[in-house]
Structures are given as C-alpha cells and as structure tokens.
Chain A
Amino acid sequence: MKIAVVPSSIENLDKYTKIGAKAFIFGLENFSINYPVITLTEIKQIVKKYPGVELFISINKTIFNRELTSLEQVLIELDSIPIQGVLFYDLSILSIYHKHKFNYDLVWHQTHMVTNYNTCNYYYEKGVKYAVLASEITKDEMIEIKNHTKMKLFTYIIGHSIMAHSKRKLLTNYYESMNQEYDNISKIIEEKDNSYIITETKDGTCILEGNIINGTSYLKELNDIGISYGIIDGNHISDTLLEKLVKLVYDILENDSKNSMQEISHLIGNNTGFFNKKTIFKVKKDEKKD
C-alpha cells in the first residue's frame, strides 16, 4: 500500500517526500471542493521537481453547463502533464475523457457512492482504473469489494470525513439572516456532544466530521488484502500534526509498530468511523416509536 497524502500546500512536499510519501492528491483551482487547490502551472512545477512521485488531481465539484468549456480545456491541458490520474465526481468528466481518449487514468471518486463491487466493475469496464472507497462502508465491505474487482482502490485512513455538500451558502445566509457579514472562516457547529466543521467557498458549503478518523488499526489488514492507497487527508489538520501522522503511518506500514499506533491514538483519538460500524436503513416498528 502506498500512502497518498493530501497536504495543505505545495510548500510542504519536501517534508513528506523525505518521510517516504510517494503519492499526493491536490484539488484544481475552480474545480475542487475539500482539497487544497493548485493551478496548472503549479502542477507542472510539482511533476518537474518530484519526478518519482505520483500526482493525482481531484476534480470533484458538481459541474454546471457554464463550466463545461473550461472543464474540457483543463482536462486537455492536464493530458500534457505526466500526472498519475484525475479523481472525478461529475460524470461530465468521464464523458469528456472518452471523447478525447486522454492518457492519464481516472479515479472514480463519487464520495459516498463507492459502496459496491458491481458499480466498481461497471466503471472499470468504462476505462476507470481506480476508485476511492466511500468512508461510510465497513472494512469487511472494503475487503469484499477488493475481492470482486480489478480496480485499484484508495481508502481513507486519516482525516476529517466529508459528510455533506450543498450548493447553498449556508454560512453567508446564516449571517445575512442576522444582518451580519460572514468572515469567510470555517466554523464549528455542535449537536449534543459532537462537533462538526462547516466550511463555505464559492461552490457552496461542506460539513465535515469534527473528530479525525483513525483507521490505523485496520491498516495492516487493508494492506495485506491489496488496497493500493491509504489516504491521509490533511484538510483542516495543522502541518505539524500532519507531518507527525505521515511519519507514524509509514512506521506502522513498514515496521508494524505498535508504539506508532499508540502515538497516533494519543494525537487524534480512536474514532474508527464506519470501519467496524454498519449503518442501518430500515427502522423496526418498535424503534420507530422512540
């Protein structure tokens, strides 16, 4: 398994490559949500400076008609840069990809929808070589998917899980309703004893889980069954903490270090998300009454 790091900016890549990071994911200016965004020029600089590194670009915003021309243009330009692949959400990207027969690989990254092997195989037949598994499925479901598809799979190991994305400007609207101006800073909202990060850009509002997910106790098993990439997502995590986490995860992968696992638990807690927790969707009649 390779570790794919989502760093906060291109300035810190030296640190991570020295630790051993071999893959990075960035967003692209104007086309991404929940990723640090960079420009095409910066992408060219990265591939030139770090030739052995795999660079993935996430284009994961919802696309509207008015953006299709510029989207097609950047997808064409990306084909002239030796990136490893493009993570996509909107199906317009797959449509344009087929039209131009680009050289780079596509990564199916429909955040909450990558939940079964049949759909993985459907996209594989469409020429999509990779997928990022949804954070809302269990480790056993991940293993089952891996056993039934030829796709190379990514899974989130560490990061604030993305819970929801709206086109609405929920923070701007909230402050406007009180005749105040939104200061463009992410906020924390709370419900019962839990907190969540709410963040707004020109593309709308995202809500992320407040507690960082820690999947390191499943790392070895996921590595053993052949998950190709473990993602460490630095979004809303400080550079100092992220650097420590990347080092520790490498130590676990390479040396099966229990100390590093404990150190990570100490740093970010033990929120294992849905790795070992199955969601329900049919509520029993007696449960409904509560």
Chain B
Amino acid sequence: MKKKIELLSPAGDLERLKVTLLYGADAVYIGGQDYSLRANANNFSIEEIKEACNFAHALNKKVYLTLNIVFHNEDISGVDKYIQEVAHAGIDAFIVSDPFIIKYIKTNFPKVEVHLSTQNSTTNIEAVNFFKQEGVDRVVLARELSICEIKDIIDKTGIDVEVFIHGAMCTFYSGRCTLSNYLTNRDSNRGGCSQVCRFAFTMENNDQKFTMATKDLNASRYISTLMDIGVTSLKVEGRMRSLYYLATVIGCYRRIIDAHYNHQLTEEKLRKEEKILSRVANRETSAHYLYHEADFTDQYYTGRQEISNQDFLGLVTSYDPKEKIVTLVERNYFEIGDEVELFTPNGEVYSFTIQDMYDENMNLITVARHPEEIIKLKVDGDITSYSMLRKKVK
C-alpha cells in the first residue's frame, strides 16, 4: 500500500513550528544555529530542537534539520559533535548537501534519515542512484524538473522524492549561484544569500533596466498529479515566513491533499484554495518548470513587484466557550462593520461581520488600530488558540 504523502512545512522558530503542525503539516524542517542555509534566521538551539521534536512526536509528526551549507575547512571542526547533539535531541532526518556529512551520519546514526538537499540540484536518475548507494534516504529534487522527469526518477530509482510546491524560487540552479559572494561578499552557499537575483541591473549602452527575479512557485493545481506519480513529500519554502503565511498556506495544501484522498477535490474547491493562497502571496506565482520550460511569463522584468498584505487581522490567544468571547492580539487595522473570517487549526472557517468589539478590559470599542493591542470579539464556534482572524476571502 502506498504511503500517505507528507506535507512538509518550514518553521523559523518554535511558535511557527507548533502553528504549522497544528494547521496540518506532517513534518517540519528547521535550521539549527549553525550549518544551515538561512544563517540569519532565528534558528533553533539544541534545547529548542528537543522541544520541537517532543511536540511533533506527540502528534506523530516529524522534524528535520537542515545541515546543508557547502562546508569550508573552518566549518568542519565541531560538526560531528553538533550532529551527535542534534541526533540525541530526537531529530528524524538531516537535510544535507556536502557528501562527507552523509557518510558520517549513516555510519554513526543509522536510524536517522539523510535527505539530500535541493542545494545539490539533483536532476537525473544516475545522480540519484549515486546518492542512493551512499545511503541517502530521500532526495529533494531540483526545482528545474518537470512532472514527467520527476515521475521517471521515482519509477526508475525507487527512492523517496521530495518536491517543492510553494514559495520563493531561485533564478539560478541551487548551488550554482554565487552572485551574493561577488556583489555583497556574503557566501550564498553558507547561508548568507543576499538575493542579488532580485537586484535591478542596467544593460550596458542603453540604460534599460535588467532584472532577472522570478515569480514565486505555486503548484496547487498539480498536487493531485504529484500525489498520483508517487512523490513522498510536498515541500513548502520559507523558514523566514510569518505565522499567518504558514497557517494559511499549510491549511490550504492540507485541504487540497485531504480532498484528493477523499475524491472530493472539485474545480470549485481548488479555485477557492487558490484564491486564499493568492491573498497571502506577496508576489505573483507560477508553476514554473513543473508543467513547462520556464519562460518570460515566470519572471519580472521591471524591478521588484512585491505587494504588502494586510489581510491578517489578529492571532487568537484564547477562547471562552461559556461567554463565547475570543481574545486576540491585533496585527492589522479593522473596525465594526468589517466582513472577516476566523479560521482555525482544525480547518473550520467562521465568516461574520464585526458587530461587538471590546478592548482588554471589556470596554466597547469601534476600531482596532494598534498592532499588538488585545481585542475581544463575540464569536460562537469551536475556536482554539492559534486560530486567526483575516479579512473575508470573497
């Protein structure tokens, strides 16, 4: 019997890890304080990794740790001790890039899985077979592959395959880009990427702007196909993304996956999820290489086009079922008369128009205008902590 597909979420800290697991991720990937490609994210201490693993394992879910820098000599000393500490903290898999690490982990911690990072840009059957013989349990394939190429690799190698389905894209092959090193002196292959591919250049001699930034990835329309061809894990990008972004994106993909399993994924349902996903996007999206050779429609040519999103209105901290009062921390402006939705980790969505709104001391107010302000609303429902209030998706 086919294994159930895994929905894999990023998490930049413990709170985001908990939220994303509650919203339907089956596994989470995190970075430690060293050796990960998001060197400037908050990242997890050993104690936090332990807590993350305990939290996830109690839900029968998994935690993977990125160890995917391209090592320099100075990074070698101490990595063995670090791997030991993380393995003992309960991590389920290491995501690695440098092959000498694979050997070390498989020799010393055979029960911990090794996943080959997309940093290796693995694109073909022979390369996958090489790493399979080295003991790699799963390959995170390059984002430059089509669905047919992915299927071919699964069919002919039998290895577990992880595919990116959502989030920012690199313009260049992962691992084959050092623009950041040359333009900003920050080492892209050791977590210092300064996203030079989103800079604006000029064409010599004509002063025209030249940009090469890509639109983001959104594979929601191809999830059923990826499930049918035997992909093991569907990966969302973004260890530095917000709670709201993760809850929304993971919630959408959870519903798409479950609807596919239940034979209930209709065009109408898919469109609704696409609409919700588009509301948290700060760039336009495309399925990129999954369905065609990426072309000019997958890129931006007139500089940065990023949209600030103010849909997220508040994060629920508690609910009083007796009084039917929800307490939340405000994130963006809202007022009496606004049409809103409260969505919960278990997938419920409550749509309503704001009528009664109170401050922290239960004084009636008409406007919530200060981020981080405690606001109380009257709502009847099965509401839990980490539910979120957003503008209504019409």
Contacts and interface: CB of A to CB of B under 8 A. Distances in A.
A92 B125 CA distance: 8
Contact of B301 (A121, A163, A177, A191): A177
Nearest to A96: B126
B189 interface: yes
Nearest to A166: B172
A176 B181 CA distance: 30
Interface residues of B, number: 67
B135 to A, nearest CB: 13
Interface stretch (B20-28, B65-73, B385-393): B65-73
B39 interface: yes
Contact of A65 (B73, B152, B205, B301): B152
A194 B179 CA distance: 12
A188 interface: yes
Contacts of A178: 301
B186 interface: yes
Contact of A166 (B40, B98, B173, B175): B173
Q: How large is the interface on A (under 10, 10 to 19, 20 to 34, 35 or more residues)?
A: 35 or more
A281 B153 contact: no
A118 B294 CA distance: 36
A218 interface: no
Given A163-B179, A283-B40, A115 B72 contact: yes
Interface stretch (B195-203, B240-248, B256-264, B307-315): B195-203
B4 interface: no
A177 B126 CA distance: 36
B17 interface: no
Interface in A250-284: 274, 277, 279-283
B42 to A, nearest CB: 11
B129 interface: yes
Contacts of B295: 169, 173, 176
A95 B130 contact: yes
Interface in B77-118: 98-100, 103
Given A64-B149, A65-B149, A65-B153, A165 B176 contact: yes
Given A163-B178, A189-B203, A141 B72 contact: yes
B175 A189 contact: no
B53 to A, nearest CB: 25
A187 B192 contact: no
B123 A190 contact: no
A9 interface: no
Nearest to A141: B73
A169 B289 CA distance: 13
A118 B71 contact: yes
Interface of A: 62-65, 67-68, 90-92, 94-96, 110-113, 115-119, 121-123, 136-137, 141, 144-145, 148, 161, 163-170, 172-174, 176-178, 187-191, 194-196, 207, 209, 274, 277, 279-283, 288
Given A136-B178, A167-B294, 10 more contacts: A65-B123, A92-B125, A112-B175, A116-B76, A119-B99, A164-B172, A164-B179, A277-B185, A279-B186, A283-B39
